[in-house]
Structure 1
């Protein structure tokens, strides 16, 4: 007989039954109609922000001959709504929940991580460091290795739950950012968020 190999994976102190999980932003509770959430390794809802945000104006998606370009913006109903309505809905499933968060400053990342890290239904936190740092000239946190290290180190001090750094691909060397995130306390990496893109009509 051939022994069954375990599909489980470890992210810090969190054990997933398998490595299959959705990408944040491409997954919502309504998808339970087409898949069994309990078969997933983890559930990763769309990134949320501390305060409500409308996201970008429509149209947000542009079809091209080679695919599509999107400019969604981080639409969010805010942290209080997420805690009151979203977490209880996902809490009914067996699969662990990874909360994905976006923030305008390191202080805001720390504040949100401390709140969510102490919630009974949150098993890990994904830090979307590919969002703009409003205190750092608007550049994404994940475009600077020193900022990435500082952010991860400070968040690590306020929570014990596993941390995942969601990197931006729009850098010269993503390896440097990945190493900085790991040194700062990241247990895993999401590689990576969406690529910058442009569509040009060569005839016009």
Structure 2
């Protein structure tokens, strides 16, 4: 585990926070020095600052930390895959960006499917379907890191609900975790949109 990665997650939330989460009332964080913007976010959300980092963190959770800033994109891609049938039925394929379209079409064995929470699958439904797949590894993170997960996502989405649910089932149910799907989503999340034809 790269300690710099953990330190950046702990003490530099402004660098990865979703724009909805980094907009504080009456304070323009983009005009503040990074250190002040980070401290204001830590204070505003009441984030723990003590690193209770365990060196025995498992390899799956470590991969989530390594790709921290990309977790929303990874979850979106996994969600696209899991809601594939619903998105096709709702004719949302062409609303997706080219990388998500390609990811949806990659043949995978034993595809885990999910049902959207609403009749028309929204981006929040897609994120929820994706986070379900990585909730168990995220639930195994130390609490100081786990409480920073919501900063990655828009306010309309609460990833901690799925993580708390997975936390109660870690020992018995890791069935939603698909390492092949996660690895493939990581690779697709690394693709630069501007290089697409």
TM-score range, shorter chain: under 0.3
Q: Could you say which structure has the higher strand fraction?
A: 1
- State the TM-score, normalized to the length of structure 1: 0.22
Bigger share in helix: 2
Higher relative contact order, structure no. (Cα contacts within 8 Å, ≥ 6 residues apart): 2
